[in-house]
């Protein structure tokens, strides 16, 4: 078992301190729900989208427009009364946003060959940051607070168990060209954390709605999707040549660094909740 060196211990202290502040705040706003939670989700989507586009270049009017659209998508999810994630008119609105994106790009002063790449990154932020975060709003407003807490706990349980297991026992690399520190041992430990988190959340908040078997299935799905979300963001950062998506959260880097796994887990939990209903 490898001991934590001084740098790792200091980083762990900062990570824990940040989590001690952010976790209760996230849980409280999740409990409040309604418009405050939708605003929180929209703000998170905008920040994450900003971090994404900044990785690849300067921010101009086109990028500001793109970030605003990404932030609006989770907010729009709050106005969908049925079981759908977004209102029926949202597809047309996104089509209109795509047209505006092209129009903005016509007047960019950068070389023309850079325009498609810049537009692709902005469009990616709509799907990656906007739509995936919108699934959390749908969970809260249509399936109640327990389901959002389930997504949080499955994700954070996976991350925490994987971190300590990987540090203590990690030997075999998971996907070294994308993330050199991730190991299969850490993946296995994270899977245990996801399942334990799902079972604990079920026992405390969802006992009447969620069977033990489905709770385990949700945990196992999160055990796969969480690391995939982490690896996906690592791939984007490597392509951009940056270590962190930002510096907004001490010890964790950017917001996108903190929620990358949740972005993949939340839609899975949404699908499971919709299946039960």
Looking at the structure, tell me whether residues 163 and 219 fall in a common domain.
Answer: yes
Q: Which residues pair with 179 in a beta bridge?
A: 175
Looking at the structure, tell me whether residues 102 and 159 fall in a common domain.
Answer: no
Q: Which domain holds residue 41?
A: 33-143
pLDDT at res. 70: 96
Looking at the structure, tell me whether residues 271 and 166 fall in a common domain.
Answer: yes
Report the distance separating Cα 104 and Cα 272, nearest Å. 39
Report the distance separating Cα 192 and Cα 28, nearest Å. 26
Contact 185, 118 (CB under 8 A): no
Give the total number of structural domains in the chain: 2
Prediction pTM value: 0.88
Looking at the structure, tell me whether residues 15 and 80 fall in a common domain.
Answer: no
pLDDT at res. 254: 85
pLDDT at res. 266: 96
Report CA torsion sign: 62, 122, 72, 258: negative
Report the distance separating Cα 101 and Cα 265, nearest Å. 29
pLDDT digits (tens, 9 = 90+) for 212-254: 999 999 999 999 999 999 999 999 999 999 988 887 766 567 8
pLDDT at res. 83: 64
Looking at the structure, tell me whether residues 125 and 58 fall in a common domain.
Answer: yes
Looking at the structure, tell me whether residues 98 and 139 fall in a common domain.
Answer: yes
Report the distance separating Cα 170 and Cα 2, nearest Å. 9
State CA 68 to chain mean position distance.
18
Last residue of a domain, one of 87, 110, 143: 143
Residue the block writes with tokens 């389930």: 150
Looking at the structure, tell me whether residues 205 and 235 fall in a common domain.
Answer: yes
Q: Which two tokens stand for residue 18?
A: 């940040």
Report the distance separating Cα 91 and Cα 97, nearest Å. 10
pLDDT at res. 10: 55
Q: Per DSSP, which regions of the chain are E strands?
A: 173-175, 179-183
pLDDT digits (tens, 9 = 90+) for 44-79: 999 999 999 999 988 888 999 999 999 999 988 887
Looking at the structure, tell me whether residues 162 and 136 fall in a common domain.
Answer: no
pLDDT at res. 194: 97
Contact 37, 139 (CB under 8 A): no
pLDDT at res. 109: 82
How do the pLDDT tens digits run along the chain, 277 residues long? 454 455 555 555 555 665 666 677 777 888 888 888 888 899 999 999 999 999 998 888 899 999 999 999 998 888 776 667 888 888 899 999 999 999 999 988 888 888 899 999 999 999 999 999 999 999 998 888 999 999 999 999 999 999 899 988 888 999 988 988 899 999 999 999 999 999 999 999 999 999 999 999 999 999 999 999 999 999 999 999 998 888 776 656 788 998 999 999 999 999 999 988 7
Q: How does 13-43 read in b/e, with b if 16+ C-beta sit within 10 Å? A: eebeeebeeeeeebeebbeebeeebbbbbbe
Last residue of a domain, one of 79, 108, 143: 143
Looking at the structure, tell me whether residues 160 and 68 fall in a common domain.
Answer: no
Looking at the structure, tell me whether residues 56 and 163 fall in a common domain.
Answer: no
Looking at the structure, tell me whether residues 37 and 96 fall in a common domain.
Answer: yes
DSSP 126: I
Last residue of a domain, one of 143, 158, 189: 143
Residue the block writes with tokens 């010890």: 251
Q: Which helix (H) or strand (E) holds 115?
A: helix 115-125
Looking at the structure, tell me whether residues 121 and 230 fall in a common domain.
Answer: no
């Amino acid at each position: 078992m490898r001991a934590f060196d001084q740098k790792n211990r200091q980083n762990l202290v900062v990570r824990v301190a940040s989590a001690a502040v952010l976790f209760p705040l996230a849980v409280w706003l999740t409990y409040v729900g309604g418009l405050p939670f939708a605003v929180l989700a929209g703000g998170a989507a905008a920040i994450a989208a900003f971090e994404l586009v900044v990785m690849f270049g300067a921010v101009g009017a086109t990028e500001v427009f793109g970030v605003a659209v990404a932030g609006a998508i989770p907010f729009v999810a709050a106005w969908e009364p049925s079981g759908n994630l977004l209102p029926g008119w949202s597809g047309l609105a996104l089509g209109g946003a795509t047209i505006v994106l092209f129009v903005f790009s016509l007047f960019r002063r950068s070389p023309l060959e850079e325009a498609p790449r810049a537009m692709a990154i902005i469009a990616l932020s709509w799907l990656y940051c906007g739509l995936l975060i919108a699934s959390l709003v749908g969970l809260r407003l249509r399936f109640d607070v327990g389901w959002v807490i389930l997504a949080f706990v499955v994700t954070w349980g996976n991350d925490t168990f994987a971190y300590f297991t990987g540090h203590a026992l990690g030997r075999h690399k998971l996907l070294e060209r994308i993330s050199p520190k991730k190991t299969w041992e850490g993946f296995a430990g994270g899977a245990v954390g996801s399942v334990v988190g799902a079972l604990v959340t079920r026992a405390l908040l969802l006992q009447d709605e969620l069977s033990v078997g489905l709770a385990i299935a949700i945990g196992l799905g999160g055990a796969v999707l969480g690391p995939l979300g982490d690896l996906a963001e690592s791939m984007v950062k490597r392509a951009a040549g940056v270590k962190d998506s930002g510096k907004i959260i001490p010890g964790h880097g950017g917001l996108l660094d903190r929620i990358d796994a949740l972005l993949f887990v939340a839609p899975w939990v949404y699908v499971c909740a919709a299946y039960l209903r």
